[in-house]
Amino acid sequence: MPIPRPLRSTLYRGFAAAVGADVGESALPPSAYATFDAFFTRGLRPGARAWPADPATAGSPVDGVVGRFGRVTDGMALQAKGRAYPLAELLGSEREAARYGGGAYLTLYLAPRHYHRVHAPVAGALIATRHIPGRLLPVNAPAVALVDRLFVTNERVACALRTASGSVAVVAVGATNVGRISVPAVPGWSPREAVGAALEHDPPIGLARGDELMVFHLGSTVVLLFEAHRLRRSLARGAEIRLGDPEADPA
């Protein structure tokens, strides 16, 4: 719903103060956003984030909080202590999941205070985009700790990239009130209109590191998979990470 311009700054700044968002990083002043969704999915002003000097280093695709990370074992990744899930179900493809055997996974949680656009962590080619239908359960810390196979139960969009350092997958997992994930990297394609669709890109869509992939229209979780990159030892569970922060180096 459009919000009258005289009310926008007060409403948006009030929301930002309540959740801890920094409106000073926005590309436009608060009054320029006609709807709450436009404000929530706002872009960053130029220079607000930096990427690693080494172009082969993968940077964080989002602002968020680091969750579980580690090595893929027997086709499984860890959601929480004692709770794992199969990558084949996460990606909606046994063939694609097989690429990540022995690779690395990294989970990033986005809170309402965070910037909500998802970017390519490394340069490459987008070869497939899949929408996997599911539920919209909460993905907050208690839910992640208590609900089995949460990330493969919820609705999600998976982007498969081929890079100079092997395959990389970026999976946007929906949550309560987050049933809308848009994909600006694929113009004209909407998960809402293509429920359960697996779109193979021929030719592949070239992406530079930092190009926009997806947008969350409210907060949720991103799961990253790396075929050959090594996760940085500096990663720490529970730590804040910002778009572009180094997270993985090529093997």
Do 21 and 90 lie in one domain? The reply is no
In a shared domain, residues 202 and 230: yes
Does residue 95 sit in the same domain as residue 214? yes
pLDDT of residue 178: 59
Do residues 56 and 43 share a domain? no
| 42 plus 67 within the same structural domain | no
Judge if 107 and 203 occupy the same domain: yes
- Residue 13 lies in domain: 1-48
Q: Which residues are catalytic?
A: 63, 119, 220
pLDDT in tens, the chain (251 residues): 899 999 999 999 999 999 999 999 999 999 999 999 999 999 999 999 999 999 999 999 999 999 999 999 999 999 999 999 999 999 999 999 999 999 999 999 999 999 999 999 999 999 999 999 999 888 888 899 989 999 999 999 999 999 999 999 999 998 876 568 999 999 988 887 778 888 999 999 999 999 999 999 876 899 999 999 999 999 999 999 999 999 999 98
User: 80 and 149, same structural domain?
Assistant: yes
| 3-state secondary structure (DSSP) of residue 140 | coil
**Cβ(214)–Cβ(184) under 8 Å?**
yes
* Domains in the chain, number: 2
- Report the amino acid identity of residue 159: C
Within this chain, do residues 100 and 8 fall inside the same structural domain, yes or no?
no
Indicate yes or no: pTM above 0.85.
yes
Q: Is 3 exposed, middle or buried (0-12, 13-18, 19+ CB in 10 A)?
A: middle
Among 48, 67, 87, residue at a domain's last position: 48
